[in-house]
Structure 1
């Protein structure tokens, strides 16, 4: 079950900027928000990040379809007290909603429903909230939970395990102009990086088959937005205590795709998060087919 949830963690929570408030005056200029700042589509606070970065509306939403690229064993609950193992391609339909009451404070929730084996027991959700200014040279503090969250849990399970979510403190920054100008391909492209720290109060440890306390993760990465809509981003993760890294915890993550910005637009992206390994580290298994493809429609709210 945990492999299933963590592999799906890539989904909408990593979607790029959804809205730009000003109309372009020149094809080569960057898209800008209502304050005239460039909209970035490449970097997020954590591996999951905030939905709808760049949107200044209080309410935002998106519908999406996501699909794995290979079959995998998935645990499928079929009642409140039973489940079965089944090998299939993990495909889901998702509804994401976000509320931003003030400034860059936000809360969002994504409901995920499998395309096959659909029931109230197989429908789950993920959520996050906090403060996340998506501009460069700002600090964000976000709580995210992409664990075993079910509206109708099986057996004695709880709907959510709040203590197993991650609290992430991150700093987004732009590179020095003398360096950046040598890295940008076109006028209007953008490059933004991030460095951060995640803390998980309780986490499952596969070796001991039980819960342990205080997982610590350092992260750093960059995102590049090309021609205002195409993007590529990558983030590396470092575990000060290597024993805390589980098989599904990647050494790095990467994604790329096309980002729509305005409500009513579409985005498509590929992302690979779960179990990635650097060469020579535990026989790296970051095969392309381990990733997920998502088609996203930003609701015209």
Structure 2
């Protein structure tokens, strides 16, 4: 399915865009207050409890076929300054049709236009290289699962490698984080969607408190330039029963997205 350019941490593998240039303007909001560290200078920061609300501008360039480069610029709606503005980026090859392969690099870490202290603008080595295969279910399996004629299900399996990552237990940078992933997305009446992805860490010590066992999202998307999308997503700290973490619904975020008419 096509889902524009505003993608979640793992949603890139379910989405794509046929336009050479595309963009989206969105507002995201958490559902509860949380303690946030807010930089307010090149050498200083404050901690504050608030609902994390962001204004995002996402831009994508696809020069050929399903090759793409994507950047999302983020600014807090409150406490906005050059030090609180950050960005996320990804690039690679992502054919969103079934029975195709994807190779994507994505970085959703500590990327700041104006970093504090001696921090770098981005830590490329802490991004993820993800390789995945998308596929359709066999007709005999898919047909009983579809609610309406014209609905569709697409699934994926993949592997993600992070060269360097922060370990909370060690309070240090460690090497070679490995994640195996698999999931499916259901499209209802061509616009409503539900996606879920599960993650397995071959080395359980590499899974950090913010790394979920699974992620999920659902909502409505218009897809065409000038249309709107609204979605809920939850992927941080979601854990299966007995594995700790916090999978409450209020830990997720709501996004209102406008696909720019460009």
Which range, TM-score by smaller chain? over 0.9
Matched, 1:246 2:232: no
- After TM superposition, give the deviation of residue 49 of structure 1 in Å: 1.3
Q: Give the one of 119, 133, 140 matched to 1:157.
A: 119
Q: Give the one of 87, 104, 124 matched to 2:86.
A: 124
Q: CA separation in 2, counterparts of 1:215 and 1:288? A: 27
2:108 matched residue in structure 1: 146
Q: How does 1:30-45 map to 2 (within 5 A)?
A: none
TM score, norm. by length of structure 2: 0.96
Q: CA separation in 1, counterparts of 2:14 and 2:196? A: 17
2:256 matched residue in structure 1: 295
Q: CA separation in 1, counterparts of 2:240 and 2:43? A: 39
- After TM superposition, give the deviation of residue 48 of structure 1 in Å: 4.0
**SS of residue paired to 2:211:** coil
2:169 matched residue in structure 1: 207
Q: CA separation in 2, counterparts of 1:185 and 1:50? A: 24
Contact 1:45/1:132 (CA < 8 Å) preserved in 2?
Answer: no
- After TM superposition, give the deviation of residue 50 of structure 1 in Å: 5.9
Q: Give the one of 29, 32, 53 matched to 1:67.
A: 29
Note closer, same or farther for the CA distance 1:144–1:150 as it changes in structure 2 (3 Å cut): same
Q: Give the one of 162, 167, 181 matched to 1:219.
A: 181
Contact 1:125/1:150 (CA < 8 Å) preserved in 2?
Answer: yes
Q: Which runs of 5+ in 2 are unaligned?
A: none
1:107 matched residue in structure 2: 69
Note closer, same or farther for the CA distance 1:235–1:242 as it changes in structure 2 (3 Å cut): same
Query: CA offsets per residue over residues 198-248 of structure 1, 9 Å max, x none?
Result: 000000000010000000000000010011101101000000000000000
RCO higher in 1 or 2 (8 Å CA, sep ≥ 6)?
A: 1
Q: Which runs of 5+ in 1 are unaligned?
A: 1-14, 20-43
- After TM superposition, give the deviation of residue 89 of structure 1 in Å: 0.3
Contact 2:13/2:132 (CA < 8 Å) preserved in 1?
Answer: no
Contact 1:71/1:87 (CA < 8 Å) preserved in 2?
Answer: yes
**SS of residue paired to 1:273:** strand
User: Over aligned residue pairs, what C-alpha RMSD do you find?
Assistant: 1.7
Contact 1:137/1:174 (CA < 8 Å) preserved in 2?
Answer: yes
1:285 matched residue in structure 2: 246
1:231 matched residue in structure 2: 193
- After TM superposition, give the deviation of residue 18 of structure 1 in Å: 3.5
